[in-house]
Amino acid sequence: MLNLKNRSQRKLALLKQVAMLLILVVSVLLLVRWCKSGEPKSRFEIENSPIKVEMIRNIAQLATISYKDEVVVDSLEHYKNQSEQIAGTFEKLSDLDNFKHGLKASNVKRRLTLIVKGEIHIGFNLKNKKFKIIEKDSSVTLILPNPIILDVLSTPSSTRVFQENGIWQDYEITTLKNKARNKMRLNAEELDLKSKAKENLIRFLKPLIKKNKKLIFEFV
Protein backbone atom coordinates (compact mmCIF):
# COMPACT_ATOMS: atom_id res chain seq x y z
CA MET A 1 0.00 0.00 0.00
CA LEU A 2 1.29 3.40 -0.99
CA ASN A 3 2.02 5.79 1.88
CA LEU A 4 -0.01 9.00 1.89
CA LYS A 5 1.73 12.37 1.68
CA ASN A 6 2.70 14.06 4.90
CA ARG A 7 0.39 16.94 5.79
CA SER A 8 3.24 19.29 6.43
CA GLN A 9 4.51 18.72 2.90
CA ARG A 10 1.11 19.51 1.42
CA LYS A 11 1.07 22.92 3.09
CA LEU A 12 4.13 23.91 1.05
CA ALA A 13 2.17 23.55 -2.21
CA LEU A 14 -0.70 25.92 -1.40
CA LEU A 15 -0.20 29.14 -3.42
CA LYS A 16 -0.83 28.93 -7.13
CA GLN A 17 -3.44 31.32 -8.54
CA VAL A 18 -2.89 34.50 -6.56
CA ALA A 19 -1.71 36.54 -9.57
CA MET A 20 -5.07 36.14 -11.34
CA LEU A 21 -6.92 37.07 -8.15
CA LEU A 22 -4.87 40.25 -7.82
CA ILE A 23 -5.64 41.43 -11.36
CA LEU A 24 -9.37 40.69 -11.11
CA VAL A 25 -9.91 42.32 -7.73
CA VAL A 26 -7.92 45.40 -8.75
CA SER A 27 -10.23 45.76 -11.74
CA VAL A 28 -13.28 45.67 -9.46
CA LEU A 29 -11.81 48.26 -7.08
CA LEU A 30 -10.90 50.60 -9.92
CA LEU A 31 -14.36 50.27 -11.44
CA VAL A 32 -16.05 51.03 -8.15
CA ARG A 33 -13.77 54.01 -7.45
CA TRP A 34 -14.54 55.41 -10.91
CA CYS A 35 -18.28 55.02 -10.40
CA LYS A 36 -18.07 56.57 -6.94
CA SER A 37 -16.82 59.85 -8.34
CA GLY A 38 -20.29 60.65 -9.64
CA GLU A 39 -22.33 59.38 -6.68
CA PRO A 40 -22.91 61.23 -3.39
CA LYS A 41 -23.87 58.07 -1.46
CA SER A 42 -21.40 56.72 1.07
CA ARG A 43 -22.65 53.15 0.60
CA PHE A 44 -22.24 51.44 -2.74
CA GLU A 45 -23.67 48.08 -3.79
CA ILE A 46 -22.23 46.52 -6.93
CA GLU A 47 -25.44 44.63 -7.72
CA ASN A 48 -27.27 47.88 -8.49
CA SER A 49 -25.46 48.41 -11.81
CA PRO A 50 -25.82 45.98 -14.75
CA ILE A 51 -22.27 46.77 -15.84
CA LYS A 52 -20.85 45.99 -12.43
CA VAL A 53 -23.02 42.88 -12.14
CA GLU A 54 -21.47 41.58 -15.35
CA MET A 55 -18.01 42.32 -13.98
CA ILE A 56 -18.78 40.23 -10.91
CA ARG A 57 -20.18 37.39 -13.00
CA ASN A 58 -16.96 37.31 -14.99
CA ILE A 59 -15.02 36.71 -11.79
CA ALA A 60 -17.64 34.47 -10.20
CA GLN A 61 -14.99 32.27 -8.63
CA LEU A 62 -11.76 33.59 -7.16
CA ALA A 63 -9.38 30.79 -6.19
CA THR A 64 -6.64 31.93 -3.84
CA ILE A 65 -5.35 28.48 -2.90
CA SER A 66 -4.67 25.43 -5.02
CA TYR A 67 -2.93 22.35 -3.68
CA LYS A 68 -2.42 18.74 -4.71
CA ASP A 69 -3.38 15.68 -2.71
CA GLU A 70 -3.16 11.91 -3.08
CA VAL A 71 -5.40 9.39 -1.36
CA VAL A 72 -5.96 5.63 -1.33
CA VAL A 73 -9.54 4.28 -1.40
CA ASP A 74 -10.65 0.69 -1.15
CA SER A 75 -13.81 -1.35 -1.70
CA LEU A 76 -13.96 -4.90 -0.30
CA GLU A 77 -16.59 -7.65 -0.50
CA HIS A 78 -16.39 -11.15 1.06
CA TYR A 79 -18.15 -14.37 0.12
CA LYS A 80 -21.23 -14.98 2.25
CA ASN A 81 -20.50 -18.67 2.93
CA GLN A 82 -18.16 -21.52 2.03
CA SER A 83 -20.25 -22.86 -0.86
CA GLU A 84 -20.31 -19.42 -2.46
CA GLN A 85 -16.53 -19.20 -2.00
CA ILE A 86 -15.98 -22.55 -3.74
CA ALA A 87 -18.17 -21.55 -6.69
CA GLY A 88 -16.49 -18.16 -6.89
CA THR A 89 -13.02 -19.70 -6.80
CA PHE A 90 -13.82 -21.95 -9.78
CA GLU A 91 -15.26 -18.97 -11.62
CA LYS A 92 -12.04 -17.00 -11.11
CA LEU A 93 -9.92 -19.97 -12.23
CA SER A 94 -11.80 -19.94 -15.54
CA ASP A 95 -11.15 -16.22 -16.06
CA LEU A 96 -7.68 -15.22 -17.26
CA ASP A 97 -7.93 -11.79 -15.62
CA ASN A 98 -8.78 -13.26 -12.20
CA PHE A 99 -6.94 -16.60 -12.44
CA LYS A 100 -4.24 -15.57 -9.95
CA HIS A 101 -6.90 -14.63 -7.35
CA GLY A 102 -8.58 -18.02 -7.77
CA LEU A 103 -5.31 -19.78 -6.93
CA LYS A 104 -5.24 -18.10 -3.51
CA ALA A 105 -8.63 -19.55 -2.52
CA SER A 106 -9.32 -16.49 -0.40
CA ASN A 107 -12.67 -15.59 1.16
CA VAL A 108 -12.42 -12.21 -0.64
CA LYS A 109 -15.02 -12.11 -3.39
CA ARG A 110 -14.04 -8.76 -4.81
CA ARG A 111 -11.60 -6.00 -3.95
CA LEU A 112 -10.65 -2.80 -5.71
CA THR A 113 -8.02 -0.38 -4.42
CA LEU A 114 -7.39 2.92 -6.21
CA ILE A 115 -4.66 5.52 -5.78
CA VAL A 116 -6.16 8.86 -6.78
CA LYS A 117 -4.34 12.16 -7.27
CA GLY A 118 -6.31 15.39 -7.28
CA GLU A 119 -6.17 19.17 -7.07
CA ILE A 120 -8.28 21.20 -4.65
CA HIS A 121 -9.21 24.86 -5.28
CA ILE A 122 -10.28 27.04 -2.37
CA GLY A 123 -11.51 30.58 -2.77
CA PHE A 124 -14.53 32.85 -3.05
CA ASN A 125 -17.76 32.19 -4.94
CA LEU A 126 -19.29 35.55 -5.88
CA LYS A 127 -21.96 34.24 -8.24
CA ASN A 128 -24.89 34.09 -5.81
CA LYS A 129 -23.48 36.21 -3.00
CA LYS A 130 -23.47 39.93 -2.36
CA PHE A 131 -20.18 41.63 -3.00
CA LYS A 132 -20.26 45.09 -1.44
CA ILE A 133 -17.87 47.98 -1.08
CA ILE A 134 -18.63 50.66 1.48
CA GLU A 135 -16.39 53.70 1.15
CA LYS A 136 -16.08 56.41 3.77
CA ASP A 137 -13.72 59.33 4.25
CA SER A 138 -11.14 57.32 6.15
CA SER A 139 -11.93 53.70 5.28
CA VAL A 140 -13.00 51.24 2.60
CA THR A 141 -14.94 48.16 3.70
CA LEU A 142 -15.09 45.12 1.43
CA ILE A 143 -17.81 42.59 2.21
CA LEU A 144 -17.12 39.15 0.73
CA PRO A 145 -18.62 35.69 1.11
CA ASN A 146 -16.64 33.28 3.24
CA PRO A 147 -14.18 31.12 1.28
CA ILE A 148 -15.28 27.64 0.29
CA ILE A 149 -13.86 24.61 -1.51
CA LEU A 150 -14.66 25.54 -5.11
CA ASP A 151 -13.84 22.18 -6.67
CA VAL A 152 -11.89 18.95 -6.32
CA LEU A 153 -10.42 17.86 -9.63
CA SER A 154 -9.13 14.44 -10.64
CA THR A 155 -8.66 12.87 -14.07
CA PRO A 156 -8.50 9.25 -15.33
CA SER A 157 -4.77 9.72 -15.96
CA SER A 158 -4.28 10.67 -12.29
CA THR A 159 -5.98 7.48 -11.06
CA ARG A 160 -4.09 4.20 -10.69
CA VAL A 161 -5.40 0.74 -9.85
CA PHE A 162 -3.32 -0.63 -6.99
CA GLN A 163 -5.13 -3.96 -6.85
CA GLU A 164 -8.21 -5.42 -8.55
CA ASN A 165 -9.87 -8.69 -7.62
CA GLY A 166 -13.14 -9.67 -9.27
CA ILE A 167 -15.36 -7.88 -11.77
CA TRP A 168 -16.26 -4.21 -11.22
CA GLN A 169 -18.84 -2.21 -13.11
CA ASP A 170 -18.20 1.37 -14.31
CA TYR A 171 -20.67 2.87 -11.85
CA GLU A 172 -18.92 1.12 -8.95
CA ILE A 173 -15.57 2.52 -10.02
CA THR A 174 -17.13 5.99 -10.31
CA THR A 175 -18.52 5.64 -6.77
CA LEU A 176 -15.06 4.79 -5.47
CA LYS A 177 -13.53 7.79 -7.27
CA ASN A 178 -16.16 10.03 -5.67
CA LYS A 179 -15.18 8.56 -2.31
CA ALA A 180 -11.59 9.63 -3.05
CA ARG A 181 -12.67 13.20 -3.86
CA ASN A 182 -14.68 13.37 -0.63
CA LYS A 183 -11.61 12.20 1.26
CA MET A 184 -9.55 14.99 -0.33
CA ARG A 185 -12.23 17.47 0.66
CA LEU A 186 -12.06 16.31 4.28
CA ASN A 187 -8.26 16.60 4.22
CA ALA A 188 -8.57 20.19 3.02
CA GLU A 189 -10.99 21.01 5.83
CA GLU A 190 -8.58 19.60 8.41
CA LEU A 191 -5.73 21.75 7.07
CA ASP A 192 -7.81 24.93 7.67
CA LEU A 193 -7.02 26.21 4.18
CA LYS A 194 -10.02 28.55 4.21
CA SER A 195 -8.27 30.76 6.76
CA LYS A 196 -5.22 30.78 4.50
CA ALA A 197 -7.42 31.88 1.58
CA LYS A 198 -8.61 34.88 3.61
CA GLU A 199 -5.04 35.75 4.55
CA ASN A 200 -3.94 35.64 0.91
CA LEU A 201 -6.75 37.93 -0.18
CA ILE A 202 -6.08 40.49 2.55
CA ARG A 203 -2.30 40.42 2.05
CA PHE A 204 -2.51 41.26 -1.64
CA LEU A 205 -5.28 43.86 -1.44
CA LYS A 206 -3.87 46.02 1.34
CA PRO A 207 -1.18 47.70 -0.81
CA LEU A 208 -3.81 48.75 -3.38
CA ILE A 209 -5.64 51.21 -1.14
CA LYS A 210 -4.44 54.77 -0.60
CA LYS A 211 -2.38 55.29 2.52
CA ASN A 212 -5.00 57.58 4.00
CA LYS A 213 -7.66 54.88 3.65
CA LYS A 214 -8.09 52.01 6.08
CA LEU A 215 -9.02 48.74 4.43
CA ILE A 216 -11.57 46.63 6.32
CA PHE A 217 -12.58 43.09 5.33
CA GLU A 218 -15.84 41.44 6.35
CA PHE A 219 -16.61 37.84 5.43
CA VAL A 220 -20.25 36.74 5.63
Q: What is the pTM of this model?
A: 0.65
Cβ(200)–Cβ(15) under 8 Å?
A: yes
pLDDT beyond 90 at 192: no
CA nearest neighbour of 10 among 155, 148, 189, 180: 189
Q: What is the pLDDT of residues 139-172, one digit of tens each?
A: 888 888 889 998 899 988 899 999 999 889 999 9
Residue 45's pLDDT is: 37
Cβ(118)–Cβ(73) under 8 Å?
A: no
Q: What is the pLDDT of residues 4-35, one digit of tens each?
A: 444 444 444 443 444 445 445 555 554 444 44
Domain boundaries, the chain: 7-77+114-219
